[in-house]
Copies of this chain bind each other. A is one copy, B any other.
Amino acid sequence: MRRRSTLRLSPQDIEEGYALACQTVVESDITVTIPPQEKIERRLKTDKTAAKIALPFPYDPDIDQPLRKVFLQIEPPSLADNTDDLSRVQRELVRRTDLDSLTTGLGVIRSIARILRDANWEVTAVLEVPPAGGSAHLIALEPGDTTHSLWGAAVDIGTTTVTVYLVDLRSGEVKEIAADYNGQIARGEDVISRIIYASKGSGLQELSNLVTGTINRLVSHACRRQGIEPAQVYRLTVVGNSTMIHLLLGLPPEPIRLAPYITTTNFPPPVRAHEIGLSVNPQAAVDCLPGVASFMGADITAGVLSSELDQTDKLTLFMDIGTNGEMVLGTAEWLVSCACSAGPAFEGAGVEHGMRATMGAIEEVWVNGETCEPTYRVIGNEKPRGICGSGLISLLAELFITGIMDRAGNLKLDLGSPRLRQGAHGAEYVVAWGSETATGQDIVFTKVDIDNLLRAKAAVYAGFSVLVKSVGLTLDDVEQVLIGGSFGQYINVEKAIQIGLLPDLPWDRFKYLGNTAARGAYMALLSSDARQRVADIARRMTYVELCADNSFTEEFMAALFLPHTDINRFPSVRELVEQQAVAGEQHVGY
């Protein structure tokens, strides 16, 4: 089925045989044809350029790491010294290190007798040493001297994509990056549909298994490339939005979805890998970093860590825009945050010819104001199959700045261009003719699409406006805007300001940080100090619930125009539009 979640079918669609899957009762055998732009290409992406990721700070495993390996040559037992196996290990550890006590669990003591004897009493102890002191925890014994090797992984569970960094904890380097679609995606594309799926029958267990399956596959793939076993991975830090973390841990997520939007816990206790079915070392600690609220998860606290917002003197706005837009405002002294539902438009969903940023997606568009003719760039230089988020922003900005569309988002059909026409869902702009597309169909941008995008950008703008106002400041006070998340890196700042998605600040105040969530997980994996910082961030961050805030609705309504009802908030855009009008080249009419 063509994706038309917010659209009805046109008479032409019906004639061509399209039907709404959600409205169609299957009465006999049918053939379902999936149009190419809707297909999810399964991909297991491993990035050989992982080594390019710089160490986030100077790293000394003996100081920064909670994991520690100690090689032990243990005196075999005798009738004269019949100390038990575990105490022998303990005694030798105390002799060789500054540790004075040791705890361990059933998994380890079940294996210790065999390993000690098979390895002829020469073993390497794998320990977790709490940074604050206290008992070290023995999580494994390995035969022989394996102190040269110590591995961990940072895991970013996105609603769409799961990313694993395989990290050599001796050097601190990221040795492999592996990414793939989250296996849960076939059970719902956004968190809300996943939560609903989880609430029925064995849905929770199923979604939990699906995401652990994805992680296991990625870890196994990355390990194979490094020539190690997944059982050598002894520590995982995990980030994701609160729903993703709940599903990973098997926590029922329903209360996240329903007012007043409550998580089971924002500070999940560390668990052992075997408890949640992760195929690394069974005793590996799986440390899910803390979040703040149902819609302010560990992906954002880790992002703040990664952005160093928690250590800066500059008033900083941190944003992570996807289906939900999360924003954090603050300095080293204070942090406030909010989340708004932008809807899936920026991810290409709910838009007539929207698609993800994969091969065949139009990612950038330029429109000639005089002829109304577009030029576009397609990912992979293929024939276009649809338009991705950055392409949509680009298109919206171009149509507005050229005056082909007014500030309310109405296309000017009277400009006399064949690109502008009345379509099945109202006015539309033809981005690409069928003759030049992969599908043979025209790729169009409709009034419905425009309205969806306006709502999305208005939600984001209203979000940070309320945030800034809540602390008695204005957007002009913001000294830097840090953009995290995978979507952020494709946004063109100039065009994002033109449509009013980003505030009208000098461009040099904006900075793209890439996948801040994964990088934050990586930092917390490396260092106990960094791990402590995320906890501090989560504890210190005030969360503003926009649902409970009337000023959000006001800001949202006012932001539904291009760039905003009050164009004076966007002086650079006003100037540009005025210049264009004076030059007489444009179809400006506000």
CB–CB B268/A109 < 8 A? yes
Q: Would you mind naming 28 contact pairs between A and B with Cβ atoms under 8 Å apart?
A: A77-B260, A78-B260, A79-B260, A79-B547, A79-B548, A81-B260, A82-B260, A82-B294, A82-B543, A82-B545, A83-B262, A84-B263, A84-B265, A84-B267, A85-B255, A86-B265, A86-B267, A87-B265, A105-B269, A106-B249, A106-B276, A109-B249, A109-B264, A109-B265, A110-B249, A113-B255, A113-B262, A114-B252
A81: nearest chain-B partner, CB-CB: B260
| Residue numbers in B under 8 Å from A105 (CB-CB) | 269, 271
The reply to whether the CB of A261 lies closer than 8 angstroms to some CB of chain B is yes
A276: nearest chain-B partner, CB-CB: B106
The reply to whether the CB of A293 lies closer than 8 angstroms to some CB of chain B is yes
The reply to whether the CB of A117 lies closer than 8 angstroms to some CB of chain B is yes
Chain B proximity mask over A106-147: 1 for CB below 8 Å, otherwise 0: 100110111001000000000000000000000000000000
CB–CB A109/B269 < 8 A? yes
| Residue numbers in B under 8 Å from A104 (CB-CB) | 269
CB–CB A113/B251 < 8 A? yes
| Count, chain A residues at interface, CB 8 A | 47
The reply to whether the CB of A275 lies closer than 8 angstroms to some CB of chain B is yes
| Cα separation A420 to B366 with both chains bound (whole Å) | 119
A275: nearest chain-B partner, CB-CB: B106
CB–CB A262/B84 < 8 A? yes
| Residue numbers in B under 8 Å from A374 (CB-CB) | none
A255: nearest chain-B partner, CB-CB: B113
A261: nearest chain-B partner, CB-CB: B82
Contact residues, A511-525 vs B (CB, 8 A): none
Copy number in the complex reads 2
The reply to whether the CB of A103 lies closer than 8 angstroms to some CB of chain B is yes
Residues on A lying within 8 angstroms of B by beta carbon are: 77-87, 103-106, 109-110, 112-114, 117, 249-252, 254-255, 259-269, 271, 275-276, 293-294, 543, 545, 547-548
A246: nearest chain-B partner, CB-CB: B113
CB–CB B548/A80 < 8 A? yes
CB–CB A87/B275 < 8 A? no
A246 CB to nearest B CB, Å = 9
A545: nearest chain-B partner, CB-CB: B79
CB–CB B79/A113 < 8 A? no
* Closest 9 pairs (CB-CB, A-B): A86-B265, A79-B548, A84-B263, A79-B260, A77-B262, A113-B264, A84-B266, A85-B264, A77-B260
| Residue numbers in B under 8 Å from A249 (CB-CB) | 106, 109-110
List 7 additional contacts besides A106-B271, A110-B251, A113-B264; criterion CB under 8 Å: A85-B264, A86-B267, A87-B265, A106-B250, A109-B265, A109-B268, A114-B252
- Checking B109, B264, B547 against A251 with a beta-carbon cut-off of 8 angstroms, the contacting residue is B109
| Cα separation A82 to B546 with both chains bound (whole Å) | 13
A84 CB to nearest B CB, Å = 4
| Cα separation A254 to B113 with both chains bound (whole Å) | 9
| Residue numbers in B under 8 Å from A106 (CB-CB) | 249-250, 269, 271, 275-276
